[in-house]
Structure 1
Amino acid sequence: MALLNPVEQRDLGQFFTPRVVAERIAAEPSLPKSGVLRVLDPGAGSGSLSAALVARVLRERPALTVGVTAVELASGLHDTLRQTLEDCQETARALGGQFNYELVAADFIPWAAARVSGVLDLVGEQPRFDLVIQNPPYRKVARSSAVRRHLQSVGLDVPNLYAAFLALGVHLLTEGGQLVAITPRSFANGTYFRQFRKQFFSLLGVDRINVFQERGALFADLSVLQENIILTGTRARRSEKVTIVTSRGYADPTHERLVTYEDIIRPDDPESFLHIPTDVEDDRAADIVAELPATLADLGLNVSTGRVVDFRVKDALRAMPTADTVPLIYPGHLQNGRVNWPLPAYRKPNAIVADASTASLLLPAGYYVLVKRFSAKEETRRVVASVYRPADVPADRVAFENHLNVFHRDGNGLDEPLAVGLAIWLNSNVLDTHFRQFSGHTQVNATDLRNLRYPDAAQLRRLSENVRPGEWPSQDEIDALVLQHVLGGADTTEQGGTVPQDQVAESVQQARQLLGRLNFDAERSNERSALVLRALLNLLPDQPWEAAQNPMLRTVEIMDFLRQHYGRDYKPNTRETIRRQTLHQFAAAGLVLQNPDRPDRPVNSPRWCYQITDRAVALIRTFGTPRFADELRAYLADLPGQLEAYAAERTMRRIPVTLPGGQEITLSPGGQNELLDAIVKDFCSYFTPGGIALYVGDADEKWAFFDNDALKALGVTVDKHGKMPDLVVYMEDKNWLVLLEAASSHGPVDAKRHAELQTLFAGSTAGLVFVSCFPSRKEMRRYLQEISWETEVWCADNPTHMIHFNGERFLGPYLAQP
């Protein structure tokens, strides 16, 4: 953004949101179908966030009126911001939408603080917002600054401007309003943000957290050394489950998992750290650390930052030791678990004068554990610990610089075995995995280390037993020692983690036997199906069948359950296999219900869920008991009636459709099938009269209708794995095959899809006609730039009209060019 010079941009702490990031943020909030959405865009910059949100609303919620209040201080951005908002208004007007805006040329902090405190001399209560969407500026807040005074006037005290924007944003929300922000995650831990976390999370319930594995791309120009997250939350409402979304970069594929609210903010944590467990390894590490027996107080230990702040004692510093000095230890002296001192070529001083002016900065010789407060970006671990040994640094006293955390016992050293064992534990991969869940930057605070749990003193001392004084173990050796002496031999690195695999194998074998007794075939009684059954019953590996329950679960929740409790880390692309190869068959057999809470839920809804039937769970609780055989006979005898009742209920919800040619079928409700019904009834009546339907695809069942013989007669051999169009109609009088795509869910016939369909129907002796079908012209406008030439477009809200994209004829095939 060339409208701000670098100095002004730095002073404002401002960085701008790339389009792909803005679209990712705008995709986060839940949108009502209609009504008015009052949006606040603080620090609006050029307006990219507001524009991305308005574009989404016009696509997905055309009946929703959007009002944006955009607050921006930088005068150099006002013209650009106003033009962006004007463009949004003109686009909304052209598409029949409603959009209005207010551009506030002001500093957001005093503007928002005044509204929060209600001191403005205005009539009536200040309006609050339904949505706050923001990319807040990053800049430290000086203690004597006007910003801090404004914040303190409304009871807020934060160390950085981005946290001020977040805090004021949530205060300006209505109850039930949403906040979406891309932000550094440095607030997740540490003393400086403690008050902010407590206030912020008391008002806002977290709904979703997007985590990016690529560090700091958005903040690179400001040299901000922490990870960024997209945080989505709702004021005064806390969900039982929080969605964690992980991807490498902003535009890369995502992986979602659900965790409990207590997994991200522990109820018993006085610091209110925000934990972000991204996978099953994080879960295992968190469970291990939570079960450790000791705190630092239990161990009789303290941790504090090094006492020497070098610029305050410049006159006492010496490049190399002399008779009147003692060693001064910096992070650069820590090498491979030890302290290497002095370093003649080191750019920092190696010694400090020992006299009355520095006496309070010195500690007596002894064994200390030192942890770098700032780890370099290239470090493989976040926590890097070394042991200070008197034998390595001969001196009666020592000074530690402020960029080190020092473990000590009331200002004195530890015994050697305890110090070595503690350093080994701090350097373990288990501890590092846990630490990264709440630390999103390179700083390791003493508060973070105090807040951890530790092995007890005996375990720590056992860790040191095989470590020789002149050597330091490798990472593999460190993790092996921790496995042996702290984890009791339970391997957390292999598949299954701490889950006892003998119990898993036994529970899976029993589940396979049960599925066989329920007359499922070999494919539906394999390990995957057995595990899915155990998840649907909410049964841990060591729980008996009589403990079975039947919660409603989404596929992603089933997969998370299996990761956490069975050590089966199914990849995201396995979700479709579980759904199609296991859950569909369970539903067809009457073992599970689909969406019992909302039977008309659209097929493509992310909330699609499954539940074991009450009748089935009652039977399963008797498995392994003498009663099971009799209960099973009764269940199987009743099953045809149950299936008939379930089928009748599903049939009542299905959409009846009469095809061209007179055939009658039904389609599942929701999704694209409502559009498909309109295509059959209206498009075919107007544009393919007398045509014969040869294929119909159902959103729930791909091959709802398929005349294979007729297609073969036309030279078309259909690959069952090929992606068929939604409807194929043959016009015998013209010898045309009309291929229609319901574009409401999967998009139109673009150039790629055009080529795919030509390949799929390559042998056709009939001419091919390609039609993209939309529910409305508004929906069509989303895809105008993607629609392939030499194709047709039809909109259900204007059923008697069709749009032709270029070419030399209207509604007809084109011969392949030689």
Structure 2
Amino acid sequence: MTWPAVPALSTVTERLPLIFPEGIENRQYCIRESTAKTVLTMIYCGAIYGSNRWIRPSQVVDMSDAQLTLSNELDRKAWCVHMLSNKKKERPPRAWYAVNSREQIRDENIARGLIPNQAVVERPGVPTTSSRPKYALRPEFAALFSESVQGKFLAAAISDWQKRFLSTAAMARATIIRNNAAASTDRVPVVFPSGSAITLAPGESSRITKAVVEQFSRYFLVQPAVLWLSESANKIIDQTLVQALHLHIDQSKSLPDVILVDLSPANGDILVVFVEVVHTDGPISQQRKEALEAIALDAGFETGHLAYVTAFSDRSASPYRGLAHNLAWDSFVWFASEPMNLIMLQSGGDRKLSELR
């Protein structure tokens, strides 16, 4: 197999986020600069699956900008042979990374990012602790970095690769995230379960609120209704429903972003669902849960008929990663990008794992 042309580092850096869209598992390990340099080192070394050429992480940390300029096949072969030899080698004066960065390249960029997302192949039969080179790019993935492929041809090539190698669930999640972000300056129309509609101010919080009302309620409630919805410019309360349920809603209190009601749940008791929509902060922490419960009791709700949900845009989004440790036990977590799934944070007890499946 011939050695591939070496693209510019900027080309690899710019294309990785296009190849791995938001919503892909462990995307952060697939698109960062050290991953771009990992991919570029594999291309430089001709480590394309089927060529019987492989690299090890030490070659990434020892690569340098100066070495990349020596791009003819003889220079590349000589460097690879030298770097893989057992002879003691002087590190380049401007090597990309410190020696102890090998583990990050191996364990994060490759093992948690590129291999699970079908970009890199691991050489079979080589033990984990072996120093033998064992990583190579899939040829279809390596082809996406050809400088000769540009514009609509690049977009088509990336799309074809994603359809072939990324999971259906991952791409569906990525599509939802992309669609939600597509019209960030437009007002957000929201259709209630009753069929009535409102528009909310532009922004991520409004898009998550829309998903809560239109999707969460449909997937997880039997007969959903919106009792309360709040945003900066709107405070919407269904007075007819409030009166029918003999409730008292004090709008001066710190109410959640959305209050949903299931009027016909499976067990026959009306269920009230407090939902906090989180774009930056404000999840249902233990303190917030207790405050909402107090509001609910004052309003006439019963404790056993309450549920608490924190809604985020996506599992990979920074608000969830940064706030997960604050989420209250005995509450739920829901993501607009995966609308049919729900995380339950169940507090202690004597139930075994086999009983929770």
**TM-score range relative to shorter protein:** 0.3 to 0.5
| Structure whose residues are more often helix by fraction | 2
| TM-score with structure 1 setting the length | 0.22
| TM-score with structure 2 setting the length | 0.46
Q: Higher relative CO (CA 8 A, sep ≥ 6), structure 1 or 2?
A: 2
